[in-house]
């Protein structure tokens, strides 16, 4: 079974995550996403929508984390693969929309933030809960979240790991549209089709300038710092405890080590 489905509606590409039930992210899924986004570079695709149902992506595959920790691995390949996939999505020279149903947590939110716009179902929940595992966002969360909602709000969300409801996400700039779960994908596809009928060459140039000037000139270096911090935390006693507590459905007992 393919973990990512790529379909077309005229000049709009629909990239759908397909790892039920919650589209938990792993290295294979991230690799398939990157391949799908590379296909979307085709000039006859003029806009892209990314989605997943009933959940956009509820975060990393925590069971895989435990396997890696039990095997003594000190790094996580999923985060690195997801960074690469999101980089391709963000670099596409055409409008992109993430249509978010259900949960977009951790890497799921990081993926959604790689799109130009985020359309959330009214029952959606988004957040960066890595801190609850003794980790930090590892695929751009510390960087893109800050640029979208500001330093203080990003800090509070990352420190707390809180799930943000759709209405609040709209208020703070983390969402661009909110609609019913039945309508959100249709709305995203409709707006993508409208974008595709516009001067997409001009949109591509505008996007390039916005991406290069709207973010820090040190974005690449800052991403590297985030990745290094994430990998240093992977394998600590606190991360082992956080992962175990998540799987065992209990509160974690963090010791700060």
HSE value, Cβ hemisphere, 13 Å, CA-based, for 121: 22
- 52: part of which helix (H) or strand (E)? strand 47-52
* Cα–Cα dist 115/100, whole Å: 11
Q: What tokens does 92 get? A: 């596409």
> Catalytic site residue 186?
no
Which residue of the set 110, 168, 171, 212 is catalytic?
A: 110
**250 pairs with which residues across the strands?**
none
Q: What tokens does 132 get? A: 């609850």
Which residue of the set 5, 27, 74, 130 is catalytic?
A: 130
Residue 178 φ then ψ, to 5°: -130, 135
Q: Where are the alpha helices (DSSP H) in the chain?
A: 27-39, 62-70, 77-91, 107-113, 141-149, 151-160, 166-172, 184-196, 200-214, 219-233, 237-248
Buried b (16+ CB within 10 A) or exposed e, 185-211: bebbbebbbebbeeebeebeeebeeee
Angle at 39 between CA 37 and CA 43, to 5 degrees: 110
Buried b (16+ CB within 10 A) or exposed e, 165-176: bbeebbeeebbb
The answer to whether the bond into 189 is cis (omega within 30° of 0) is: no
> Catalytic site residue 9?
no
User: Active-site residue numbers?
Assistant: 110, 130
């Amino acid at each position: 079974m393919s973990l990512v489905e790529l379909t077309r509606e005229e000049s709009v590409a629909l990239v759908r995550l397909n790892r039920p039930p919650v589209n938990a992210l792993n290295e294979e899924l991230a690799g398939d996403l990157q391949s799908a986004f590379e296909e979307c570079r085709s000039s006859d695709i003029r806009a892209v929508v990314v989605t997943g149902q009933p959940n956009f992506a509820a975060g990393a595959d925590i069971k895989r984390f435990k396997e890696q920790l039990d095997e003594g691995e000190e790094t996580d390949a999923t985060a690195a693969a997801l960074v690469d996939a999101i980089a391709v999505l963000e670099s596409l020279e055409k409008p992109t929309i993430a249509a978010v149903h259900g949960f977009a947590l951790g890497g799921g939110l990081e993926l959604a933030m790689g799109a130009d716009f985020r359309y959330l179902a009214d029952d959606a929940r988004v957040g960066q809960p890595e801190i609850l595992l003794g980790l930090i966002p590892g695929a751009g969360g510390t960087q893109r979240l800050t640029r979208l909602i500001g330093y203080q709000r990003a800090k509070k969300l990352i420190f707390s790991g809180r799930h943000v409801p759709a209405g609040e996400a709209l208020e703070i700039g983390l969402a661009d549209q909110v609609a019913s779960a039945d309508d959100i994908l249709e709305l995203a596809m409709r707006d993508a089709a409208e974008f595709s009928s516009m001067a997409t060459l001009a949109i591509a140039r505008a996007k390039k300038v916005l991406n290069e000037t709207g973010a820090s000139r040190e974005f690449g270096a800052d991403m590297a710092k985030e990745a290094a911090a994430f990998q240093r935390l992977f394998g600590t006693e606190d991360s082992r405890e956080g992962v175990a507590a998540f799987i065992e459905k209990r509160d974690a007992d963090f010791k700060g080590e």
